[in-house]
Amino acid sequence: MNTVFTSKHISLGAKMAPFSGYNMPVEYSGINDEHRAVCHALGVFDVSHMGEIWVKGPKALDFIQYLTSNDAAVLVPGKVQYSCFLNGQGGIIDDLLVYCIDPQTYLLVVNAANIAKDWAFLSHYAPCFGLTPGKELYNASGEICQLAVQGPKALAAVQKICDTDILRMEYYTFTKAVVAGIPDAILSITGYTGAGGCEIYVANADGPRLWDAVFEAGKEYGVKPAGLGARDTLRLEMGFCLYGNDIDDSTSPVEAGLGWITKFSDAKGRFLDRDYLLNQKTAGVARRLTGLQMIDRGIPRHGYEICDADGTVIGTVTSGTMSPCLNVGIALGYLPTIRATPGNEVFVKIRGRLLKSKVIKPPFRKN
C-alpha cells in the first residue's frame, strides 16, 4: 500500500521497502546523514502509515480509562498523552498517543502494524460503553496522512506556514491550525526522535500541498527527507520503545520501564490488569528493560544474547544499533532486575564472541 507521499519518495531516490503493509522509505542520503540532520537542524518523516481512531460520546473517557494504562482524566482539550492498551493478561497490545479534542472527543494514534488488532480490541469492548464501531468509534486510518517535522529548527520552519503561534507551545500539546493554507490541520508538539519538532495531520487530499510547503519553508535550514532507518536510530538513542521489539503482548508496562504511564489514582479507577500491574509495582518484577552501551567494539542487534562473564545467557537484545551521535554500540534488552543496575557489566554475544558492555539508563543521547 502506498501513502500519499510515495511518489515524492521515489522521485527523491529513496530506498523503499515494505513496512506494516505500506511501501515506505528506509533512507535517502543515508541513515547516519539523515539522523544527524534531525539532531542538528531538521528532517521530515512520512508517518502516514500510523493509525488514527476516533472515540466520541459521553462514555468516551470511561472507555479509554478502562482499556489504557495512563490516567486520561487529567487531559484537557489541547493535551496529548502517551499510553498503552492492556490485553487483560498483563501484556501490551500497543502503545499509543491519546489526543483530547474536547471532553467527549478523543483521537487515538496507534502503530501501523497494530491497526487491525487495535480496532478488533476496541470494537470488542465498545458496546459495553454504548459505543458503536463505525459511529462513535471510527477508524480513520485510511483517510489521514501525517508528516513528522523533527529537529531543533523544525518549529521555526513550520511557523512560516502556520497561522498560529507554535513556538511557545509546550511538549505534548496540540492545536488545530491553518498550515500551508490547509484549515483544521492538527499540529502536535510530539515526535519519536527526541530532537524536538512537531507532527502534522491532514486529510490525504491535502498531503502533497503540505509536503511542498514544509520543504519550501525548511530550505533555509537545510531540511532533508528522512526514512524509517533514521527514525529507528533516533528513537533508540533516546531509549524509546518500539512495539514488536521492546514491548509486546508478553511484556508488561512495569517491566518495560513504563510505570510512569501506568496510574492507579482514584480518578483512574478500575481498568484492565489493574491488580496485576499494581502487584508488580509494589512487589517488584523479575526482569526489566534496560539500556546497554558497548565497552568493547561491536554492534548489538535484535535477538543477540546477553550473557554474564561465564557465558550464561541472562537476557536478549530487543533493539540495537551503532549510535550515529555517540559512535558506539547501544541496545535495549531485558535483564534480571538484580542485573539491571546502571554501571553493571554484562556481555553481548556477537558472532560467537562475548563483548563487554555496561548497563546504562537511557537516554543514551543527551540533548
pLDDT tens string, the chain, 367 residues long: the values are 999 999 999 999 999 999 999 999 999 999 999 999 999 999 999 999 999 999 999 999 999 999 999 999 999 999 999 999 999 999 999 999 999 999 999 999 999 999 999 999 999 999 999 999 999 999 999 999 999 999 999 999 999 999 999 999 999 999 999 999 999 999 999 999 999 999 999 999 999 999 999 999 999 999 999 999 999 999 999 999 999 999 999 999 999 999 999 999 988 999 999 999 999 999 999 999 999 999 999 999 999 999 999 999 999 999 999 999 999 999 999 999 999 999 999 999 999 999 999 999 999 998 6
Give 287-367's CATH code, choosing from 1.10.357.10, 2.40.30.110, 3.10.20.30, 3.60.40.10: 2.40.30.110
Task: Extract the runs of DSSP E, i.e. beta strands, from 174-312.
Answer: 174-179, 182-188, 197-203, 224-226, 287-294, 305-307
What are the residue ranges of helices labelled H in 178-313?
Answer: 207-217, 228-238, 274-283
What residue spans define the domains of the chain?
A: 6-49+143-238, 51-120, 287-367
CA–CA gap between residue 171 and residue 185 (Å, rounded): 18
Place of cell 534496560: 290
| CATH fold label, 6-49+143-238 | Gyrase A; domain 2 (3.30.1360)
The cell numbers describing 367, all together, are: 540533548
Q: Give CA angle at 17 (15, 19), nearest 5°.
A: 140
The answer regarding whether domain 51-120 maps to CATH 3.30.70.1400 reads yes
